[in-house]
């Protein structure tokens, strides 16, 4: 209708949104299924597949847009009915704005990567569409038709970048890359509610499954504790994190280590029957001593 490659680019991205949204809906359904014998950690990883699928489609769309823009430079066509194009893009932009804000809000409320990711993606589309409308108005009032392929070129680059970012997020999640923000939050919670028996915590590993987390770690306890007392300490730790942690459920698998004489100088137990060295001060828990597989001070 308008012969505008910029409008065609925006339309192509909208089609991608519909297809990716359908896949996202299915992934949300799978994520909500309970754990079973074949999926002991749940089905949350499918959200990263959904993000990767969407990212791949967006990246391909960016390549196609750049290819179409290159064709236009060699075979330019005159633009027509730009006013109708502006109204069309304006209507879709308004609809996307409402949908994007809703999805971002619901994604944060439900701690859903898929919903929040789609909302952020749509909001990015809104910003690019506003830029496109500005370019079309500029063409309409100035008659400078070379602005159209330039706008399409910029959109293609932005779409490629967005596709890459989604693919990067997907690969990070599937490869269990450590989310340092989650690590810092867990350390903050444990430090604020630190029990005297929690001598040190180390070898922490965090995996994300949808909006839930699985954490492995080693917890050093006084070696003379009875098994039931040690179990109570582990349950207290897990319960504390789940009470304070707002982004989904946190499941812990904790390996207990017995304390050794090296631990005495930072063990805060006031009445320890086996202390071999005086207490000199707590060691602050942070990434540098919580993530490595060794007791503090070793």
Q: Is 48 left (phi over 0), alpha (psi -120 to 50) or beta?
A: alpha
Average pLDDT over the chain, rounded to an integer:
85
Kindly report, residue by residue over 169-195, the tens digit of the pLDDT.
889 988 989 889 999 999 999 999 999
Give residue 163's pLDDT: 87
Pure H helices in 143-195? 147-174, 180-192
Q: pLDDT at position 80, please? A: 63
CA dihedral angle for residue 38, residue 40, residue 44, residue 49, rounded to 10 degrees: -40
For 152-163, what is the mean pLDDT?
A: 84
- Domains of the chain are 5-174 (1.20.1510.10), 180-290 (3.30.70.1350)
Is it the case that residue 204 has pLDDT exceeding 80? yes
- In the predicted model, is pLDDT for residue 218 greater than 70? yes
The answer on pLDDT for 3 being more than 70 is no
Strand-by-strand arrangement of the 250-258 sheet: 200-209, 212-221, 250-258
pLDDT digits (tens, 9 = 90+) for 270-281: 889 999 999 999
* Mean per-residue pLDDT, 136-156: 80
* Model pTM above 0.85: no
Q: What is the dihedral of CA 148, 154, 121, 9, to 10 degrees?
A: 40
> How does pLDDT run across 4-31, given as a tens digit for each residue?
666 767 777 777 777 877 888 888 888 8
């Amino acid at each position: 209708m308008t012969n505008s490659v910029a409008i065609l680019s925006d339309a192509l991205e909208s089609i991608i949104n519909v297809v990716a949204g359908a896949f996202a809906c299915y992934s949300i359904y799978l994520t909500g299924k309970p754990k079973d014998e074949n999926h002991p950690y749940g089905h949350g990883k499918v959200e990263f597949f959904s993000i990767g699928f969407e990212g791949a489609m967006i990246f391909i769309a960016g390549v196609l847009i750049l290819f179409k823009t290159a064709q236009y430079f060699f075979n330019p066509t005159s633009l027509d009915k730009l006013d109708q194009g502006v109204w069309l893009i304006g209507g879709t932009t308004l609809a996307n704005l409402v949908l994007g804000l809703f999805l971002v809000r619901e994604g944060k409320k439900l701690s859903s990567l898929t919903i929040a990711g789609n909302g952020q993606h749509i909001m990015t589309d809104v910003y690019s569409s506003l830029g496109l409308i500005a370019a079309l108005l500029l063409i309409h009032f100035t008659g400078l038709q070379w602005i159209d392929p330039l706008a399409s070129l910029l959109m293609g680059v932005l779409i490629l970048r967005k596709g890459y970012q989604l693919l990067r997020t997907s690969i990070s999640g599937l490869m269990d890359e450590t989310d340092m923000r989650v690590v810092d939050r867990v350390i903050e919670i444990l430090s604020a509610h630190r029990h005297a028996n929690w001598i040190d915590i180390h070898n922490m590993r965090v995996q994300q499954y949808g909006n839930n987390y699985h954490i492995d770690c080693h917890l050093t306890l006084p070696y003379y504790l009875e098994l039931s007392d040690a179990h109570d300490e582990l349950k207290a730790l897990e319960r504390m994190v789940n009470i304070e942690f707002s982004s989904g459920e946190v499941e812990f698998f904790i390996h207990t280590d017995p304390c050794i004489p090296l631990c005495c100088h930072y063990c805060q137990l006031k009445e320890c029957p086996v202390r071999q060295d005086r207490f000199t001060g707590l060691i602050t828990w942070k990434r540098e001593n919580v993530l490595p597989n060794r007791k503090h001070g070793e």
